[in-house]
Structure 1
Amino acid sequence: METKAIRKENVSLALIQPSAFNPRKTFDEAALKELSDSIASQGVLQQIGLRPIADTDRYEIIFGERRYRASVMAGLETIPADIYDVTDDEAVEIAVTENLQREDVSPIEEANAYQSLMDSGRYDVQSLAVQFGKSEAYIRTRLKFTSLIPEIAQLLEADAITMSVASEICRYGTDIQKEVYEKHLCENSYGYGSWRGLKASEVARRIEQNFTTDLERYSFDKGMCASCPHNTKNLLLFCEGTCGKCTNRKCLEDMNTSYLVDKAVDMIALYPAYPLRQGRFGTNEAAVERLSAMGHEIETPSTYIQPYPAMPQEPTAEEYETAEDFAEAHSEYEQDLSEYNDAVEEVNARAENGEIIVYIVIEKNDISIGYAVKPSDASEDGTADNKADDPIVKLEKQDMRNKEIAVEKTVADTKKQILEADMTETKFGQDEERMVYYFMLSSLRKEHFSAVGLTEKQAGCLSDDEKMEIVSNLNAKTKAVIRRDYLIANFKEAFGSNTVAKLLLGFAKKHMPEQLAEIEKGYNEVYEKRHQRIEERKAALVPKNEEPSAGANDTSEDESNEEAA
């Protein structure tokens, strides 16, 4: 894009303001001071680019903000400028293009500049390569840096890592980049082993080994993964067999969760009598949460889950070199199939007799069928409790649990968002005061339970209902008791001469002055005796032919007076 200035003129610095679309976000103060000194002696050698701000006499910087800042530092009043009449999009394009001509442009600034031009819709990789005289591979490499998290981008800006290392890291998703930074690249990551200074190939190998996930462990359809750029099998450095390893764990988890939910829904339709249950030694929490939100009741594991008998795989003739080998394999299959059918009949019979319960089990990476021994439903008088098998009772329990889930989710989300609420201008209310006393009650000493209306039987521990009853009927005296017990509980952090110790002594001086005085007296007497012994030992160490230092000046002065006489 070529845009000519409509005029050239010297513009007052007071009428100029920076723009928000400048690709350059950081300015080196030392370099800026050096430029300012040069401008003070030689003036501004190259015009900056400005555009008029509508309905004002002011101008906005298109390019040359560094020269503008240095001119202000140098005390100039005006600066030579090219004035352009351009739209916002055109101004962004001019600014980006001008900044890309700088010799000191950083890799991140260059990457963001190319991306900005791509986002304008007027450029693609090929046209950028022509515009700036670069290869397409060069442009693509720079564009990858826009996917770096800010912390790693800053390391690249500061030359703490090389562009080759950054190129390897930007292959991976945000979650892996964060872990790599926190464990191996930040300044306090040395406990895990710093990766700074390693070659790019070694960094790539370590990330692949420690932070990617083997797709073979997942059961969902991995057809899309075959051509995915986050599959290590498609990276030039990794050419392993199997399905490859995934470098985008969020995408992997989302696909796995969707697969599990869909499979669970299909199995619920196929086996409507089987309840849902979490896996005994691991479950997919995201799938459980999504299924719960859909209204499905999911039991938590309380007894050992045994897998439902697995049907054997029938062999095919193509798998064997000779007919004899295939016949032998098929004979083994028929035996396995017979044993499978017997096992299925046994499980089904036990389920019909009420001995076991068959479940649809939500595991980490799959949905399976399993069964567990049915817990005893015997009542206190020894008779069986048939109410537990009543379908209406089950539905009522499910409805109650769904209500509990709604409350649990409400509380969880509120805990997260309450930290962002602005309460600085809201008056502290009586209800909030009761909340404070509710929490302080945990420090109430047993000997003061009677002061707040509790009996000796309640002195073991306070229930939540008892705490709420107390805070609803507080008076000035009980409030003072609770607050002071809270203070006393926190005085356990008093040591030596720290601030808590000083607060402790101030509290004791107010409430138990005689006891405090007695304590201080006892330890001060011990100190005085030890102090006296130390003074005696110090005196014994002074040579006998030397006078005490305190009178040395007086003696020398008397002797000099005698000599003068």
Structure 2
Amino acid sequence: MIMEATAIQSVEKNITMVALANVQPSNYNPRKNFDEASLAELSESIRQQGVLQPIGVRPIEDNRFEIVFGERRYRASLMAGLEDIPAVVMEISDEVAEEMAVTENLQRKDVTPIEEANAYQKLIDSGRHDVQSLAVQFGKNESYIRTRLKFVSLMPEIAQLLEQDEITISVASEICRYGEDIQKEVYNKHLKEGVQYNSWRGMKASDVARNIERQYTTDLERYAFDKTLCLSCPHNTNNMMLFCEGGCGNCANRTCLAEMNAAYLTEKAVRLMEERPEVSLCYESFNSNEAVVERLTAMGYEVESLNYYAKAYPEQPEAPRKDEYDTTEEYEQAQSEFEQDLNDYTEECEEIRTRSEAGEIILYFRIESKDIVLCYVPKVTCTTNDTKQEQTLSPVEKLEKQDKRNKEIALEKTVEDTKKQILEVDMSDCKFGQDEDKMIYFFLLSSLRKEHFEAVGIEEKKPYSYLTDEEKINIIANLTSKQKAIIRRDFLIANFKNAYGNNAIASLLLDFAQKHMPDLLADIKNGHNEVYEKRHQRIEEKKAVLLVQEQAKQEAEQSDKQQSEVGMQTEEQPQEEDIAA
């Protein structure tokens, strides 16, 4: 690095003129926006005085040069109409060129926060810098560098607002703490152009921070999973904000929160089922966790959907703590109430156990959005046949039913995965087999008309009933040529319903009819053509009348015009005689 810097210094002493046509900008420049008015002023200055400070370039392919620094002077020179520009030609590597471009642009006074953020990020990505070295090189404190680096995570629309001074650096600093999903909601609902109600433009940074925490984060106290990792998580608002109210904090990473909650609930459900295999799993549509239900189902557990009210199992009362009371009398009173509550709890639990053993109620572990709780349902509240049958099953029969369902799940998953993978298989070189031919007829049978059921071996069928899949399988097992023709033609007829006007299907329909019912088609055509001819004749007669009227009108207008011209000539003759006199 020292040798390269020494070489650069020695080369910089030699300034040469380079044709602007051979110079091109680089991708290293963090500056993406150039003020047109300022550029025009610089162009006029260059037109009068020339380029006072050379640009830095390096040679690339085809005898061309790439700008290392000085792109603004290069653009202004093009506007001024110059053909050449003074330049320092440097033989440097990509890494050095990028660092020089970024460093030179960061020293400008008009660098924007987003340009500054991207520049710092590029230098860190190069592997030759960290936050500490950047702070030393550019004379900034580490906190300043870290704040700017966070702007890289801003979504483009919010970054543009910062570039245009529509929001302050402090507001942007609060927003960039959050993920893209929250940023999108904040932008669309509160910062987007045209938002009138509840706009956050012009709001203080502290107010924006509180609003985001209140509206777009979730209080971790509401969740039961272990929050040890959350204490040091950067997405915990306790670690993000200067203004926090203690507690566990709020989570700003919705994806992570949902995954941790789902993992905890799934693990808890498995543990509970191992402890009490006689209790079933269930969920209610208005308060459930779909991810947990799906995971448990995939693991082979049967999870029932309850369409009726399930009463929660009683909660064990908590014993009072002596240090929480001011006097001994207050503590003894609380202890007495606790003992009464505990006695009631024990009696209620015993009653539930007795009723469960007697078959009067069914116990469930209910999967809720944030917890899994024990509940029970009286048998008399059950309404569906499936649930009534379930109530009569013994624990062993329930396990056998669950095993059967697990096998069904395995088949369902196999079918779903096959449906996806079969789209990726190349079958273009495979010969179409007889088994595939039968499969085609299975689907074609959906269009078979009821009057042809008997032709394919289905005799006793209700007028409004359709072929079942089992019947279709039996039909395609031994199809004759005549039966195939009937099935194919019924399929064509079913699709001719989409024929209209002069579309392609209509053309195919008429060709099909010409082959199978030429005389009837001719009668149909003649009937409609006869009506058309009569209508056509009436239209022609009306057109002839209109043409005669139009011609008469034109002749009348021509006659009026001629009379008008004659009248004008007659008026002009006496005037000429008066002039002559």
TM-score (norm 2): 0.70
Cα shift at 1:146: 1.4
Q: Are 1:399 and 2:409 counterparts?
A: no
Which residue of the other structure, out of 315, 320, 323, is the alignment partner of 2:325? 320
Q: Are 1:266 and 2:271 counterparts?
A: yes
Q: Are 1:281 and 2:249 counterparts?
A: no
Q: Are 1:181 and 2:181 counterparts?
A: no
Contact 1:441–1:482 (Cα < 8 Å) also in 2: no
Q: Give the aligned partner of residue 218 of structure 1.
A: 223
Contact 2:278–2:395 (Cα < 8 Å) also in 1: no
Instruction: Trace 1:136-215 onto structure 2 (pairs within 5 A).
Output: 136-187=142-193, 193-215=198-220
**One-letter code of the match for 1:141?**
T
**One-letter code of the match for 2:276?**
Y
> In structure 1, how many angstroms separate the alpha carbons of the residues matched to 2:527 and 2:73?
74
What's the CA shift string for 1:520-545, capped at 9, x where partnerless? 999999999xx9xxx9xxxxxxxxxx
Cα shift at 1:516: 7.1
Which residue of the other structure, out of 345, 366, 389, is the alignment partner of 2:371? 366
Q: Give the aligned partner of residue 544 of structure 1.
A: none
Cα shift at 1:80: 3.8
> In structure 2, how many angstroms separate the alpha carbons of the residues matched to 1:27 and 1:399?
65
Contact 2:46–2:76 (Cα < 8 Å) also in 1: yes
Q: Give the aligned partner of residue 299 of structure 1.
A: 303
**One-letter code of the match for 1:402?**
I
3-state SS in 2 of match to 1:301: strand
**Alignment RMSD (CA, Å):** 5.3
Cα shift at 1:301: 1.7
> In structure 2, how many angstroms separate the alpha carbons of the residues matched to 1:524 and 1:445?
41
**One-letter code of the match for 2:192?**
C
**One-letter code of the match for 1:154?**
Q
Identical columns (%): 46
Cα shift at 1:47: 3.5
Q: Give the aligned partner of residue 110 of structure 1.
A: 116
Cα shift at 1:177: 0.8
CA distance 1:77–1:323, shift in 2 (3 Å): same
Contact 1:440–1:482 (Cα < 8 Å) also in 2: no
CA distance 1:85–1:388, shift in 2 (3 Å): same
**One-letter code of the match for 2:496?**
R
Cα shift at 1:391: 6.3
Q: Give the aligned partner of residue 50 of structure 1.
A: 57
CA distance 1:126–1:519, shift in 2 (3 Å): farther
Contact 1:231–1:246 (Cα < 8 Å) also in 2: yes
What's the CA shift string for 1:233-259, capped at 9, x where partnerless? 455563435443322222322332232
CA distance 1:50–1:557, shift in 2 (3 Å): same
**One-letter code of the match for 1:406?**
K
What's the CA shift string for 1:284-332, capped at 9, x where partnerless? 2233344445x24141323533222211111121122222221121111
Q: Give the aligned partner of residue 495 of structure 2.
A: 483
Contact 1:509–1:516 (Cα < 8 Å) also in 2: no
Cα shift at 1:145: 1.0
> In structure 2, how many angstroms separate the alpha carbons of the residues matched to 1:187 and 1:439?
53
> In structure 2, how many angstroms separate the alpha carbons of the residues matched to 1:371 and 1:276?
11
What's the CA shift string for 1:476-499, capped at 9, x where partnerless? 7445434332x35xx7xxxxxxxx
**One-letter code of the match for 1:318?**
D
Contact 2:444–2:491 (Cα < 8 Å) also in 1: no
Instruction: Trace 1:82-121 onto structure 2 (pairs within 5 A).
Output: 82-121=88-127
Q: Give the aligned partner of residue 541 of structure 1.
A: none
> In structure 2, how many angstroms separate the alpha carbons of the residues matched to 1:217 and 1:526?
82
3-state SS in 1 of match to 2:213: helix
> In structure 2, how many angstroms separate the alpha carbons of the residues matched to 1:63 and 1:181?
35
Q: Which stretch has the larger CA shift, 203-212 or 304-313? A: 203-212
Contact 2:362–2:376 (Cα < 8 Å) also in 1: yes
Q: Give the aligned partner of residue 332 of structure 1.
A: 337
CA distance 1:129–1:392, shift in 2 (3 Å): closer
> In structure 2, how many angstroms separate the alpha carbons of the residues matched to 1:138 and 1:436?
69
Cα shift at 1:110: 1.0
Q: Which stretch has the larger CA shift, 299-308 or 461-470? A: 461-470
Contact 1:358–1:370 (Cα < 8 Å) also in 2: yes
What's the CA shift string for 1:32-68, capped at 9, x where partnerless? 7887777677655544433445x87555443345555
**One-letter code of the match for 1:399?**
N
Contact 1:231–1:244 (Cα < 8 Å) also in 2: yes
Which residue of the other structure, out of 116, 134, 139, is the alignment partner of 2:140? 134
Larger radius of gyration: 2
> In structure 1, how many angstroms separate the alpha carbons of the residues matched to 2:559 and 2:439?
72
> In structure 1, how many angstroms separate the alpha carbons of the residues matched to 2:47 and 2:495?
66
CA distance 1:186–1:269, shift in 2 (3 Å): same
CA distance 1:404–1:157, shift in 2 (3 Å): farther
Contact 1:51–1:61 (Cα < 8 Å) also in 2: yes
Instruction: Trace 1:436-451 onto structure 2 (pairs within 5 A).
Output: none
Q: Are 1:558 and 2:563 counterparts?
A: yes
**One-letter code of the match for 2:176?**
C
Contact 2:296–2:303 (Cα < 8 Å) also in 1: no
**One-letter code of the match for 1:330?**
Q
> In structure 1, how many angstroms separate the alpha carbons of the residues matched to 2:145 and 2:276?
55
Cα shift at 1:383: 13
> In structure 1, how many angstroms separate the alpha carbons of the residues matched to 2:440 and 2:74?
55
Contact 1:49–1:81 (Cα < 8 Å) also in 2: yes
Q: Which stretch has the larger CA shift, 172-181 or 25-34? A: 25-34
> In structure 1, how many angstroms separate the alpha carbons of the residues matched to 2:241 and 2:107?
32
Aligned length in residues: 528
> In structure 1, how many angstroms separate the alpha carbons of the residues matched to 2:204 and 2:452?
67
3-state SS in 1 of match to 2:224: coil
Cα shift at 1:359: 3.0
> In structure 2, how many angstroms separate the alpha carbons of the residues matched to 1:560 and 1:550?
15
> In structure 2, how many angstroms separate the alpha carbons of the residues matched to 1:383 and 1:402?
19
3-state SS in 2 of match to 1:300: strand
Please state which structure has a larger fraction of its residues in helix. Answer: 2
Q: Give the aligned partner of residue 549 of structure 2.
A: none
> In structure 2, how many angstroms separate the alpha carbons of the residues matched to 1:440 and 1:49?
74
Q: Which stretch has the larger CA shift, 303-312 or 228-237? A: 228-237
CA distance 1:296–1:378, shift in 2 (3 Å): closer
What's the CA shift string for 1:437-486, capped at 9, x where partnerless? 999999x898999899899847567877899999x96877445434332x
3-state SS in 1 of match to 2:305: coil
CA distance 1:437–1:77, shift in 2 (3 Å): farther
**One-letter code of the match for 2:493?**
V
**One-letter code of the match for 2:369?**
K
CA distance 1:244–1:396, shift in 2 (3 Å): closer
The runs of 5 or more residues in structure 2 that have no matched partner are: 514-523, 547-552, 571-581
